[in-house]
Amino acid sequence: MKVTVLVMFLAIFISGCDKGADPREELAKRQKIPGYREARIFCTQCHRMPDAVQHEPAAWPGVITRMEGIMQTNKRKVPTVEEREAIIGYFKTNPN
């Protein structure tokens, strides 16, 4: 029974893999999106880069404000006004 479940899981997992996607190409595409660089610099000071779909587009300004408070508390670098707007723009317009 356990072997059957494991084989089924592996079959489903492998069938869902995108064999044609090159992670380096995906990263290169993302790096050209306005605001990605700023988001990567500031967000990854404390955690992995979040997906834009974690929050509704209208919620991102509040999320960024909350994260800035955490950055200040933990003595991390806080974005400038321009960097902040770029980060918000990135997350509001990039669903992936």
Per the domain annotation, does 30 fall within a domain?
yes
Region 27-32: mean pLDDT is: 82
Per the domain annotation, does 11 fall within a domain?
no
pLDDT in tens, 30-86: 888 899 999 999 999 999 999 999 999 999 999 999 999 999 999 999 999 999 999
pLDDT band, residue 24 (cuts 50/70/90): confident
30 closest CA partner among 38, 46, 42: 38
pLDDT of 7 over the 90 cut: no
Its pTM stands at 0.72
pLDDT band, residue 28 (cuts 50/70/90): confident
Domain count, the chain: 1
pLDDT of 14 over the 90 cut: no
Per the domain annotation, does 12 fall within a domain?
no
39 closest CA partner among 94, 95, 96, 91: 91
Q: Note down the domain range covering 59.
A: 23-93
